[in-house]
């Protein structure tokens, strides 16, 4: 089968022929129909995360937003069935037995296996996955539109859920990109009044088409004042990898507000303790999501409340997509097809 392979960090992926994986007793073999391209894939390829460098093995097939059809299954698998369309997320496997898993946080399981990180992912014609951790897709969803929901969608969904967003509350989404455009829609599905914040007028217009009630250009000298005048947000979802976006979001929060960390800047975030105390600000983070979170996001999409803007391209263009990511040129989410 054809696969895009990471052989060396900071080097382009290599399109090559490799053997089709053989499913074990509790695995399914999936013929990939679509795989979303996540910024995390680029971080992994460039060795940006010291926490993961020690466990990422090379050569590696990246990709953790995978949708396809089951073509074979192991002898211990009762579900899904051959022919079922399923999705594979970042969490390839979690133990289900540790204290963290039992508290509903399998996304933080210390023993977890990572799709496209510690085992081969979906930048290929076929992928092997644990039957226990794949999720069946509603038939109403297209494969390419559904694929990014398995990381981008579930990550912002969990952030919004953990921030306890309620109907009528004000949510500001910083960064109207692959994550942010989904955050706008999900916050609206929670009944919030949504403000979109970005440095690009084109992306702000995109945010308006998605239902953002207000927009603010973060490049404006008085951006923080504009946000405050419009009603300081109860929750700020930062879906940008810019530290400046975090600084603006924190400054604009209402007293008692919540800052949700989703985007991953290279440099550390810094907030003055006195400012945090004075505002009683709350800072939370979201690390992808659980299988239950994935199912809830898919239900929202099947109900027509969330739709991912995708640009579908052949797998052979993955290095060009990575370059566009570096330059911030992608609107919505890129999806590759084998």
CA distances from 36 to 55, 312, 334 (A): 22, 9, 6
The whole model's pTM is what?
A: 0.94
Q: Is the pLDDT of residue 51 over 90?
A: no
Quote the pLDDT of residue 47.
83
Query: How many Å apart are CA 232 and CA 230, to the nearest integer?
Result: 7
Is domain 153-285 in CATH 3.40.50.12780, yes or no?
no
CATH 3.40.50.720: which residues of the chain?
153-285
Q: Is the pLDDT of residue 293 over 70?
A: yes
Quote the pLDDT of residue 50.
63
Quote the pLDDT of residue 137.
96
Q: Which whole number is the average pLDDT over 179-202?
A: 97
Quote the pLDDT of residue 267.
87
Phi then psi for residue 320, to 5 deg, are: -65, -40
Quote the pLDDT of residue 56.
79
- pLDDT digits 0-9 by tens, 213-227: 999 999 999 999 999
Dihedral of alpha carbons 210, 33, 5, 154, sign: positive
Q: Is the pLDDT of residue 329 over 80?
A: no
Greater confidence (50 vs 31) lies with 31
CATH 3.90.180.10: which residues of the chain?
2-151+289-337
Mean pLDDT taken over the chain:
95
Greater confidence (120 vs 55) lies with 120
Q: Which whole number is the average pLDDT over 312-323?
A: 96
Per the listing, tokens 């990575």 go with: 322
- pLDDT digits 0-9 by tens, 66-100: 999 999 999 999 999 999 999 999 999 999 999 99
Quote the pLDDT of residue 326.
87
- pLDDT digits 0-9 by tens, 107-164: 999 999 999 999 999 999 999 999 999 999 999 999 999 999 999 999 999 999 999 9
Structure tokens given for 308: 């991912």
Q: Do residues 319 and 137 lie in contact, with contact meaning Cβ atoms separated by under 8 Å?
A: no
Q: How confident is the model at residue 191 (pLDDT cuts 50, 70, 90)?
A: very high
Q: Which whole number is the average pLDDT over 267-281?
A: 94
Q: How confident is the model at residue 330 (pLDDT cuts 50, 70, 90)?
A: confident
Q: How confident is the model at residue 265 (pLDDT cuts 50, 70, 90)?
A: confident
Fold of 2-151+289-337: Quinone Oxidoreductase; Chain A, domain 1 (3.90.180)
Greater confidence (61 vs 264) lies with 61
Q: Which whole number is the average pLDDT over 250-267?
A: 94
Query: How many Å apart are CA 285 and CA 267, to the nearest integer?
Result: 16
């Amino acid at each position: 089968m054809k696969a895009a392979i990471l052989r060396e960090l900071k080097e382009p992926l290599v399109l090559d022929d490799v053997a089709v994986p053989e499913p074990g007793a509790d695995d399914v073999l999936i013929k990939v129909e679509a795989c979303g391209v996540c910024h995390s894939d680029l971080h992994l390829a460039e060795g940006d995360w010291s926490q993961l460098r020690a466990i990422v093995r090379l050569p590696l097939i990246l990709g953790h937003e995978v949708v396809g059809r089951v073509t074979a299954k192991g002898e211990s698998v009762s579900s899904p069935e051959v022919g079922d369309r399923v999705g594979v997320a970042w969490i390839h496997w979690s133990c289900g037995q540790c204290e963290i898993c039992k508290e509903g946080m399998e996304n933080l399981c210390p023993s977890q296996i990572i799709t496209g990180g510690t085992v081969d992912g979906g930048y290929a014609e076929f992928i092997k996955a644990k039957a226990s951790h794949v999720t069946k897709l509603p038939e109403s969803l297209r494969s390419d539109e559904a694929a990014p929901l398995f990381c981008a969608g579930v990550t912002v969904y969990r952030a919004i859920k953990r921030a306890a967003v309620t109907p009528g509350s004000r949510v500001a989404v910083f960064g109207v990109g692959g994550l942010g455009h989904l955050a706008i829609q999900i916050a609206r599905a929670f009944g919030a009044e949504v403000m979109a914040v970005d440095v690009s007028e084109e992306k702000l217009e995109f945010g308006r088409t998605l239902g953002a009630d207000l927009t603010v250009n973060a490049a404006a000298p008085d951006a923080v004042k504009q946000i405050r005048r419009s009603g300081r947000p109860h929750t700020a979802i930062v879906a940008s990898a810019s530290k400046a976006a975090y600084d603006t979001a924190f400054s604009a929060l209402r007293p008692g507000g919540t800052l949700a960390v989703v985007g991953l800047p290279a440099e550390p975030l810094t907030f003055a303790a006195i400012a945090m105390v004075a505002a009683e600000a709350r800072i939370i983070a979201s690390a992808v999501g659980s299988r239950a979170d994935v199912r809830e996001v898919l239900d929202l999409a099947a109900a027509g409340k969330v739709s991912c803007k995708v640009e579908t391209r052949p797998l052979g263009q993955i290095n060009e997509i990575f370059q566009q990511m570096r330059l911030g040129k992608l609107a919505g989410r890129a999806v590759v097809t084998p």
